[in-house]
Structure 1
Amino acid sequence: MKTTNKRAAYVGCLGMISIISTEFGVIGILPQLAEFYGINIDTAGYLLSAFALIIALTGPFIVLYTSRFDRKKMMLLAILIFVASNFLSALAPPYWVLILLRVLPSFLHPVFISISIATAIDNAAKEFQPRLMSIVIGGIAVAQVTIIPLSTYISGTFNWTASYIVQGTISLIATVAVYFLLPSTSLKVEKSIGLQTSILKYKPFILSIITNCLIIAAWFSTYGYFAEYLSKTRGLNEREISYMLFLFGVMGVISNFLAGKLLSKNLTNTTVLFLFGTILLPLLFTFSDKSIYTTAGIVCIWGIMYGPCFLTTLAYVLSAAPDAKEFANSIQISSGNLGVTLGTVVSGLFIGQYTATMAPWIGAAFGVTAMGFIFWRSLIEKRSATINISETLNDTTIHN
């Protein structure tokens, strides 16, 4: 493995930590934001869903368009917008301005991820590419262990604006790393746009994209309201919630490592195994006592089952598009963020109408639906394999 590839992978990981901290860091401070701006928790949830919706709607098109530009310049532009967004948000602007500041960096979010992965694996041997990709994607788990719970802890100790300063500082550090450690290169377009977009006609790929959206929606129905759920149903304060977020993230890192090994053995079964957690979670919360120790145990299981969701869905989608991984990756990012929007909006509506206890059950409904689409894709692929075997046998018979 080349030193330049490893360096690019770790720079991409640091950048991933910064942008994921910005995207999901708001989860731990939603109750404070709702109180500060005098709005309902479901309205505050738009800060998460609006960010994700922009990525879902524009991601693939912007990735294709920006593929002609210098990688380093695009990464710097993307990360600098995150820096500005965080520090300006720390000024506690009017709510509509806060929404706007959330939306602006989301346009280049998928560009940064796609370029980070492309730069890390550029000219690397195929056997090393998955390891390099896992380093970049690992930034998600690291952010969940460190910056997101730290932001929640700091907001509870000081106020919610302090969490934006932390996120902005991390983005600033990532900017320095990109500027000094990455070379200036153009993104090589190995396949035509027409060839890459042709995968949109492939039914297993379409089913995989829908499954990806539903899996992420299933998890974010509850994770999107992590702080709200634990405070309202378990009576935890901001500091205790930050501890739970840290515990949640640690379990996610461990399960990511485990999922990486299991995925190489059986992709579909591993995806279903961790997805089963969306059904298990509401049962655990409903039929258990509300002590902090029991809650911590459930959060551990929650983190283990949720942790690999981005890794398993990425692998599941790319397995249906081996000849167009770049475009498939951008579609996966967009559909995943559509899932974030879908999960938080639907769950927010039920929370607003009823109580926070509804959130895990909404996640379970999305999870069961996702399993249905996984089964559907498996049936199509088995049927296609059977047809191919029959055609091969017929050709052999004719030639004999």
Structure 2
Amino acid sequence: MKKSLLSLALGGLTIGITEFVMMGILPDIAKNLNISIPVAGHLISAYALGVVIGAPLLVIITRNYPPKKTLLILASMITAFNSLSIIAPNYEFLFAVRLLSGLPHGAFFGVGAVVASRLADKGKEAQAISVMFAGLTIANLLGVPLGTYIGHHFSWRYTFIIIAIVGTLTVCSLYFWMPNIEAKAREGMKTQLLFFKKAEAWLVILITAIGAGGLFCWISYIAPLLTDISGFDASDVPYIMMLAGLGMVLGNFIGGKLADRYSAEKTIIVLLSVMAVDLMLVFFFSSNPYVSLALVFSTGCIAFAVAAPIQTLMIQTAVGAEMIASAAIQAAFNTGNALGAFLGGLPLIAGFSYASPNLVGITMSILGVLFTVVFLQRKRRVLKLQRI
């Protein structure tokens, strides 16, 4: 495997721990800062909001930089902002820091996805992108459980020390392993932004924000789901998160292979449909601890299988505007993150069980399928007209 792709994977690892460890240590932060779990859940939304703001903004600001320089700047920002969480004295400060930490997330994955596709062997672009996202999945396999364990048994602040260390390693690996790729001759920014006048652009964004939101309805409240519904002890959660991470690692590579073998949109339709069924099973059967463990693995697998196909679909759709469009997908993913955490929390505020957010997730996944079907129909119509 190319070292350049491994440096992107290491960046994905840093971002993955940053984003997903919050779900595991949410009860610990809530207790330490004397806030409720639903209020602590707003820290997840703050990070997602940062991604939405930062993804297009930072790509525009760095658009004239070569990709390596851009990635180094973004990785340095990730490391610096996460380091501030270590000293957060209260909820308000931590909320602001989480917002700042999210700013470089989307731009890093957006630029990284385009770079990965350029470094890939012909016909293996989606698999190269999946290598970058492998860091995100390995974070859920190893980094998040470790961070959750440390946050639960020692202090959640120590978890952010780990993130700072991994972030520093990312900066070093990019500096030494990433080749000096020349920036592609770009269209003007005004021309690139015209891409968002296309219905196809917004359909892909809706597929991502709404369809992928089902994952975040589930994972945002996975810790209380496992303890209150499945009956596991809080000390078991880090190990169960490793099971979810293992599913994500497997699903990520399956998604990349499927998108290269079949069309990205057909792969997305199948995966989001299966996700809706899986979340229904989570809702009905999480009270059984053995079944719950199997569902933790399957949900992680299915949810992350959709990442590379969606990223590939946007790059294929946005010819001439790949960088900003790819970053927009990351903003859309984290819009889904914010929506999943917020909408999934509404049934909890209304007094329903910690299994209830999955009902919201089912709805979001089905809507994602419908948007993808519309996209596919529009694509077929355009191809038919081109043949005439």
Q: TM-score, normalised by structure 1?
A: 0.88
Aligned mate of 1:220, from 216, 219, 223: 216
Match of 1:29 in 2: 25
Match of 2:40 in 1: 44
Secondary structure of the structure 1 residue equivalent to 2:130: helix
Name the amino acid aligned to 1:114. Answer: G
CA contact (8 A) 1:153 1:238 kept: no
Match of 2:365 in 1: 367
CA contact (8 A) 1:68 1:186 kept: no
- Please show how residues 295-310 of structure 1 align to structure 2 within 5 Å: 295-310=292-307
Match of 2:254 in 1: 258
Aligned mate of 1:53, from 43, 49, 54: 49
- Please show how residues 243-392 of structure 1 align to structure 2 within 5 Å: 243-263=239-259, 264-288=261-285, 290-355=287-352, 356-389=354-387, 392=388
Aligned mate of 1:230, from 192, 212, 226: 226
2: CA distance, partners of 1:259 / 1:276: 14
1: CA distance, partners of 2:195 / 2:184: 20
CA contact (8 A) 2:14 2:167 kept: yes
1: CA distance, partners of 2:279 / 2:176: 47
CA contact (8 A) 2:54 2:105 kept: no
Match of 1:161 in 2: 157
2: CA distance, partners of 1:208 / 1:178: 30
CA contact (8 A) 1:19 1:79 kept: no
Stretch moving more, 362-371 or 188-197: 188-197
Alpha carbons of 1:388 and 1:108: their partners in 2 closer, same or farther (altered >3 Å)? same
Instruction: Give the paired residue count.
Output: 386
Deviation (angstroms), 1:340: 1.0
CA contact (8 A) 1:277 1:302 kept: no
Secondary structure of the structure 2 residue equivalent to 1:357: coil
1:86 correspondence with 2:88? no
Q: Deviations over 1:280-312 (max 9, x none)?
A: 234323433634322111112212211213223
Deviation (angstroms), 1:365: 1.1
Deviation (angstroms), 1:315: 2.4
Deviation (angstroms), 1:71: 4.0
Match of 1:396 in 2: none
Alpha carbons of 1:340 and 1:124: their partners in 2 closer, same or farther (altered >3 Å)? closer
2: CA distance, partners of 1:386 / 1:235: 55
1: CA distance, partners of 2:286 / 2:180: 56
Q: Which has the larger radius of gyration?
A: 1
CA contact (8 A) 2:82 2:163 kept: yes
1:190 correspondence with 2:186? yes
Secondary structure of the structure 1 residue equivalent to 2:212: helix
1: CA distance, partners of 2:114 / 2:253: 22
Q: Deviations over 1:190-227 (max 9, x none)?
A: 33323322221222222121111111212111112221
Name the amino acid aligned to 1:320. Answer: T
Q: What is the percentage of aligned positions where both structures have the same residue?
A: 24
2: CA distance, partners of 1:42 / 1:111: 28
CA contact (8 A) 1:152 1:238 kept: no
Deviation (angstroms), 1:70: 4.8
- Please show how residues 101-250 of structure 1 align to structure 2 within 5 Å: 101-122=97-118, 126-127=122-123, 129-182=125-178, 187-250=183-246
Deviation (angstroms), 1:364: 0.6
2: CA distance, partners of 1:240 / 1:366: 29
* Superposed CA RMSD: 2.4
Deviation (angstroms), 1:350: 2.3
Name the amino acid aligned to 2:329. Answer: Q
Secondary structure of the structure 2 residue equivalent to 1:235: coil
Q: Which runs of 4+ in 1 moved over 6 A?
A: none
Deviation (angstroms), 1:317: 2.7
CA contact (8 A) 2:247 2:301 kept: yes
Alpha carbons of 1:347 and 1:377: their partners in 2 closer, same or farther (altered >3 Å)? same
Gap regions ≥5 residues in structure 2: none
Secondary structure of the structure 2 residue equivalent to 1:146: helix
Alpha carbons of 1:312 and 1:237: their partners in 2 closer, same or farther (altered >3 Å)? farther
CA contact (8 A) 2:275 2:365 kept: yes
Alpha carbons of 1:132 and 1:328: their partners in 2 closer, same or farther (altered >3 Å)? same
Secondary structure of the structure 1 residue equivalent to 2:172: helix
CA contact (8 A) 1:37 1:95 kept: yes
